[in-house]
């Protein structure tokens, strides 16, 4: 299974890329200096790691995405449910809603999502 975990600062860096891609790497360095207070070497080190993990690519100084932010966080959610709840979505939902009941609108939206997936479609 791919690893869909990012430390908070790496998640912020990934967000910067997702929000600006495609972006030239020198421009990314400037953004990271401003947003994260990173030096050029830190930006390139972290970029190499995220490219190695298959999130982005840096080709001829152009940084682009290989996976969307939504795809990444969908994988992150699946990984969390698998690792924490043995892959059981019902166990996850039970834990998630145990402290506060769902609103009628939330129930309708969840029912709609489930119907669409049971029918073979995708919600979105």
- Asked if residue 85 and residue 48 are part of one domain, the reply reads no
Domain extent, residue 31, equals 8-67
- Asked if residue 106 and residue 78 are part of one domain, the reply reads yes
Note the residue count of the chain. Answer: 124
- Asked if residue 41 and residue 92 are part of one domain, the reply reads no
What is the overall mean pLDDT for the chain?
A: 92
| Res. 123: pLDDT tops 50 | no
d(CA 58, CA 70): 20
Each residue of 55-113: pLDDT tens digit?
999 999 999 999 999 999 999 999 999 999 999 999 999 998 888 888 999 999 999 99
Domain presence at residue 43: yes
The pTM (predicted TM-score) of the whole model is 0.79
Inter-residue contact 107 to 36 (CB < 8 Å):
no
Residue 117: pLDDT band with limits 50, 70, 90? confident
- Asked if residue 102 and residue 85 are part of one domain, the reply reads yes
> Looking at the DSSP assignment, which residues form a beta bridge with residue 58?
63
Domain presence at residue 124: no
d(CA 37, CA 9): 11
Q: Using DSSP, state whether 2 is helix, strand or coil.
A: coil
- Asked if residue 76 and residue 38 are part of one domain, the reply reads no
- Asked if residue 57 and residue 102 are part of one domain, the reply reads no
């Amino acid at each position: 299974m791919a690893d869909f975990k990012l430390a908070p600062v790496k998640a912020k860096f990934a967000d910067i890329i997702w929000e600006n891609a495609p972006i030239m790497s020198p421009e990314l360095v400037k953004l990271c200096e401003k947003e994260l207070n990173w030096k050029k070497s830190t930006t390139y080190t972290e970029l190499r790691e995220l490219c190695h993990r298959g999130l982005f690519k840096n080709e001829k100084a152009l940084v682009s995405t290989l996976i969307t932010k939504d795809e990444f966080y969908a994988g992150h959610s699946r990984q969390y449910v698998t690792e924490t709840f043995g892959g059981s979505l019902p166990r996850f939902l039970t834990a998630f809603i145990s402290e506060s009941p769902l609103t009628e609108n939330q129930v309708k939206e969840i029912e709609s999502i489930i119907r669409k997936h049971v029918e073979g479609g995708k919600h979105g």
